[in-house]
Amino acid sequence: MRLRTPLAVLGCIASLAVAVQAQDPTPYRGPPVLPPHAGPPAPPPAPLPEGQSPAPPPPLPEGQAPPPPPPLDQNVPMEAMTISRATAMTVGGLESLVILGAAWLAFFGAPRRRDDQR
């Protein structure tokens, strides 16, 4: 019982937030407010090696570039694989609920049922 009540409250809040997000036509108010893309964006490169001090590259012959990486998928570019903002917000909300619920259970344990008391 003690678990069900807070989870229900959290669920209601999350549903409300998702519903508001889905209905709200106002564009996002944070920085930076930029005009829409002129065309489909290219995917950003993979992050550099971590640690602020990248390893030196293997020596290349003058004027010769290393072979480019093979294309991932000729038919379905990554940037075309998108979902809507409402769906993303719903996923983010669900993740928050799972984390909160797991933390609650971790700390308090699952509620004891009558058959646990025997």
Partner 1 sequence: MSADRPEDADALAPSPDRAGLRTDAIYLVVVALVAFRQLCNSMGTSPTIWEDTLIENLYVRDCLVDNHCTAVGAGATVGIFHSAGYLHWRSLLHAVGLHANGTFLTFHVLNALGVGLVAVAARRIAGPVAAALAVLIMVAGNGVPTQLNVISDVAPVPFLGAVFLLLAQTATARPTRATTVALGLLCGVMLNFYATGLLCGVSAVIVTLRFPKDRWKHTALVMAAFVVSTFVLSPLTWLVDLRIVLTRHIGHSPGMMNRLPLLEIPLAALSALALLLWGVSALWPPLRRRLDVVAAVILPLFVPVLAGYLRGSLDVQDKYFAHVVAAIAVGVGAGAMLPLNAAARWALGRLETRFPSRKAGIDRFSAMVRRSQALALPLAALLVFAGFNEPADTIEHLSYSYADVLSTARYLARARGWTSGQAQLGLLTPDELARRAAIRWATGWRASGTTSGLEHAYMLKMPVSDVLMQLPTGAEVVRRAADGRTVVVSTCSWIDWTAFRACTRRGDAPETCMDTALPIRNDGHQDYSEGIPGMPNPDGRDLSRQTLTLHFPLHPRPECPVTRVVMPRLPLLCPGVIASVDGVPATIEDSGRRVLLRYDTRPGAPQPRELAISWELGVPACWNQFRGHPPFFIEGDPDAVPFIERMIDPGPGAAEGPP
Segment 5-24, which members bind partner 1 (CB under 8 A)?
A: 17, 21
Q: Tell me the three state secondary structure of residue 55.
A: coil
Binding mask 36-75 toward partner 1 (x if CB under 8 A, else -) reads xxx--xxxxxxxxxxxxxxxxxx-xxxxxxx-xxx-xx--
- Helix axis angle for 4-23 and 85-108, nearest 10°, is 170
Nearer to partner 1, 9 or 76 (CB): 76
Which residue in the block uniquely carries the two structure tokens 């009540």?
Answer: 5
Which of 1, 2, 23, 34 is the binder for partner 1 (CB under 8 A)?
34
CA distance 40 to 117: 61
The CB-of-30 to partner 1 minimum distance in angstroms stands at: 5
